[in-house]
């Protein structure tokens, strides 16, 4: 059954959604501005599956840098901050809400000078080292056992990055053995048992270096490929099917990819499952202080992820015709200039506002749309850092709008991504000349009779009227959740932690097609129960 509701009704319902929470969300007074808005058509093609959306696409990254580990995650068992064996309780409780994601550690650039042996054994005997990022002591209080415990508490899967920069293949192989060999099988396994963990950690994801074109050793792609082969060619599995990850390009650098894969194809074909690119979409203006053009410019830069995926995938396919190697984006996010740190010691800490939340949402939608190509992605970084989900400082803790986007997108986990077609006008803006960005983009997925549609609406001030059609199904019930704010730079603070949070409301939408209203500058999720 198809039922179209008229615009006035839709607007009124949208107002209900928008005003359900704090008064600061999209104000009903602005509804009239939707009148005459150019309609946007969204077709959800339930009969065109793309691939399973792995929860790993919603992964996180945690590095020994600034306040990510120390303060963010690790407060120590003697801290007054509520903790579980030294791990901040509030972060565990929040990360659990993100589903069965993957968390990458210990870097980043830090990984390529890290000796894993420094971080095991009694904590009061661990060596203190020079911190990689700041002229600060690395206390090694947080090491392999602490990280694995953090993952277990969060219900997340670990992803460890090995040191290729200053480490050896042997050290890497020993780390794998220490983590995964069964108790009693080897001396390293017994050392793990003595350090408190009788059961093997069964770590599946192993990264071989980080940014090997840069801080990870400034290799040429060919030289890195030789190192990669040395590190991985003979690696015992201890009953764990390894997922080995090579250090991919800086952004969409096709030369790095082509030259690595050429060498890999020509002489090695060492075991390789994942090719990890990093893409930071840089900044436009200050984290919180930006013009309307810079709002659009940032979103447009985030949207370049799509091109990166398509281009990298095409080059990988020139060498890996069987498509055994998948793409990973194990660092991504908007990286703004200094000036909004909550704690001066938290290197690269930046406030994340509504603009970053939309960048996160459109990036996650991009991953969903390419679910057949990408196996994992890790936003940089979980707490007190670049495109961060949380800020923590002593006993204070707050979730940023990015966290709420990740939580909103959770129904996509393990669902089948289906193709979505969006037709509508674009928005013009100025950034070194005239540019354009889409007005609405998103992704869709299905599990059983449940369809999830997520939509990013970029327009800074006008609502959008979306005609949504389901091909291959009909809606029985629809719930709408929206994250938005009347101020583009709105963000959550320790004092006001719920300034930007999603609002949910039931709707009367029904049938194979219906019209819904998206607030300006918003992320929307439609939970559709099929008839």
**Whole-Å CA distances, 314 to 98, 221, 319, 354, 373:** 31, 18, 9, 33, 10
What whole-number distance in Å separates Cα of residue 508 and Cα of residue 194? 60
Least separation in angstroms between CB 305 and ligand AHR: 16
- Give the ranges where 351-458 is alpha helix by DSSP (H): 354-369, 401-408
Segment 432 to 491, residues that bind ligand AHR, using CB under 6 A? none
Stretch binding ligand AHR (CB under 6 A), from 102-110, 217-225, 406-414, 471-479? 102-110
- Applying CB under 6 A, what is the total number of residues that bind ligand AHR? 10
Instruction: Copy the structure tokens of residue 483.
Output: 């994250």
Q: Measured at CB, which residue is nearest to ligand AHR?
A: 108
Return the number of the residue (63 or 407) whose C-beta is nearest ligand AHR.
Answer: 63
For CA atoms 487, 492, 494, 497, give the dihedral sign.
Answer: positive
Least separation in angstroms between CB 111 and ligand AHR: 8
Least separation in angstroms between CB 70 and ligand AHR: 16
Return the number of the residue (210 or 273) whose C-beta is nearest ligand AHR.
Answer: 210
Which residue(s) pair with 452 in the sheet? 445, 527
Give the residue, chosen from 386, 415, 455, 516, that forms a contact with ligand AHR under the rule CB under 6 A: 386
108 binds ligand AHR (CB under 6 A): yes
Instruction: Copy the structure tokens of residue 478.
Output: 């629809």
Stretch binding ligand AHR (CB under 6 A), from 378-386, 423-431, 459-467, 502-510? 378-386
Active site residue 63: no
Give the residue, chosen from 235, 380, 440, 526, that forms a contact with ligand AHR under the rule CB under 6 A: 380
Least separation in angstroms between CB 386 and ligand AHR: 6
Give the residue, chosen from 177, 331, 393, 465, that forms a contact with ligand AHR under the rule CB under 6 A: 331
Among residues 331, 341, 462, 499, the one annotated as catalytic is 331
What whole-number distance in Å separates Cα of residue 392 and Cα of residue 494? 9
Stretch binding ligand AHR (CB under 6 A), from 316-324, 338-346, 380-388, 450-458? 380-388
Contact call for residues 160 and 114 (beta carbons, < 8 A): no
109 binds ligand AHR (CB under 6 A): yes
Instruction: Copy the structure tokens of residue 486.
Output: 């009347």
Least separation in angstroms between CB 243 and ligand AHR: 19
Least separation in angstroms between CB 380 and ligand AHR: 4
Return the number of the residue (320 or 330) whose C-beta is nearest ligand AHR.
Answer: 330
Q: At a CB cut-off of 8 Å and minimum separation 6, what does 218 contact?
A: none
Among residues 211, 297, 341, 465, the one annotated as catalytic is 211
Among 376, 355, 358, smallest CA distance to 367 is for 376
Residue 70 DSSP one-character state: B
341 binds ligand AHR (CB under 6 A): no
Return the number of the residue (210 or 452) whose C-beta is nearest ligand AHR.
Answer: 210
Q: At a CB cut-off of 8 Å and minimum separation 6, what does 137 contact?
A: 128, 129, 130, 131
107 binds ligand AHR (CB under 6 A): yes
Strands 503-506 and 83-84: unpaired
211 binds ligand AHR (CB under 6 A): yes
Among 245, 303, 315, smallest CA distance to 274 is for 245
Return the number of the residue (207 or 463) whose C-beta is nearest ligand AHR.
Answer: 207
What order do you get walking across the sheet with 513-518 strand by strand? 503-506, 475-483, 522-530, 450-457, 440-447, 416-423, 39-52, 464-471, 513-518
Least separation in angstroms between CB 161 and ligand AHR: 9
Return the number of the residue (178 or 275) whose C-beta is nearest ligand AHR.
Answer: 275
Least separation in angstroms between CB 376 and ligand AHR: 15
Segment 32 to 71, residues that bind ligand AHR, using CB under 6 A? 63
**Whole-angstrom Cα Rg for the chain:** 23
According to the 3-state scheme, what is the secondary structure of 211-231?
A: CCCCCCCCCCHHHHHHHHHHH
Match 């940023």 to its residue by tokens: 400
Active site residue 191: no
Active site residues: 211, 331
| Sites of contact with ligand AHR (CB under 6 A) | 63, 107-109, 210-211, 331, 380-381, 386
């Amino acid at each position: 059954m198809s039922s179209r509701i008229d615009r006035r009704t839709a607007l009124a319902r949208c107002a209900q959604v928008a005003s359900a929470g704090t008064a600061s969300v999209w104000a009903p007074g602005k509804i009239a501005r939707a009148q005459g808005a150019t309609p946007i058509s969204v077709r959800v093609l339930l009969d065109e599956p793309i691939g399973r959306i792995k929860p790993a696409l919603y992964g996180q990254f945690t590095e020994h840098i600034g306040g990510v580990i120390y303060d963010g995650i690790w407060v120590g068992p003697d801290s007054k901050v509520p903790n579980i064996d030294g791990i901040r309780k509030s972060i565990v409780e929040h990360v659990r809400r993100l589903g069965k994601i993957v968390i990458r550690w210990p870097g980043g650039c830090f990984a390529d000078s890290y000796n894993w042996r420094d971080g095991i054994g009694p904590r009061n005997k661990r060596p203190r080292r020079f911190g990689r990022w700041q002229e600060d002591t690395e206390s090694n209080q947080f090491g392999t056992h602490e990280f694995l415990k953090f993952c277990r508490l969060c219900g997340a899967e670990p992803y460890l990055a090995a040191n290729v920069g200053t480490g050896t293949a042997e050290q890497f192989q020993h780390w794998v053995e220490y983590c995964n060999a069964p108790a009693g099988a080897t001396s390293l396994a017994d050392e793990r048992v003595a350090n408190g963990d009788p059961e093997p950690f069964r770590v599946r994801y192993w990264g071989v270096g980080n940014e090997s074109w840069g801080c990870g050793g400034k290799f040429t792609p060919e030289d890195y490929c030789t190192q990669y082969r040395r590190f991985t060619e003979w690696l015992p599995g201890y009953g764990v099917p390894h997922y080995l990850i090579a250090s991919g390009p800086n952004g969409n650098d096709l030369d790095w990819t082509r030259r690595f894969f050429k060498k890999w194809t020509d002489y090695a074909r060492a075991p390789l499952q994942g090719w990890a690119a990093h893409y930071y979409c840089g900044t436009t203006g200050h984290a919180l202080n930006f013009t309307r053009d810079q709002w659009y410019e940032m979103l447009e830069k985030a949207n370049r992820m799509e091109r990166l995926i398509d281009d990298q995938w095409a080059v990988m396919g020139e060498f890996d015709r069987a498509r055994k190697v998948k793409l990973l984006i194990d660092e991504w996010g908007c990286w703004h200039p200094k000036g909004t740190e909550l704690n001066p010691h938290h290197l690269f800490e930046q406030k994340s506002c509504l603009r970053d939340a939309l960048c996160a949402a459109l990036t996650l939608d991009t991953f969903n749309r390419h679910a057949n190509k990408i196996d994992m992605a890790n936003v940089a970084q979980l707490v007190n850092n670049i495109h961060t989900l949380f800020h923590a400082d002593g006993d204070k803790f707050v979730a940023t709008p990015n966290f709420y986007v990740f939580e909103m997108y959770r129904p996509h986990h393990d669902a089948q991504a289906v193709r979505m077609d969006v037709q509508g006008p674009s928005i013009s803006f100025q950034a070194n000349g005239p540019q354009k960005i889409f007005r609405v983009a998103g992704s869709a997925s299905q599990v059983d009779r449940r369809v999830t549609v997520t939509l990013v609406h970029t327009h800074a001030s006008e609502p959008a009227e979306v005609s949504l059609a389901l091909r291959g199904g009909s809606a029985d019930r629809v719930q709408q959740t929206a994250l938005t704010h009347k101020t583009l730079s709105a963000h959550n603070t320790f004092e006001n932690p719920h300034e930007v949070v999603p609002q949910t409301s039931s709707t009367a939408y029904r049938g194979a097609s219906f019209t819904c209203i998206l607030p300006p500058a918003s992320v929307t999720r439609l939970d559709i129960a099929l008839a």
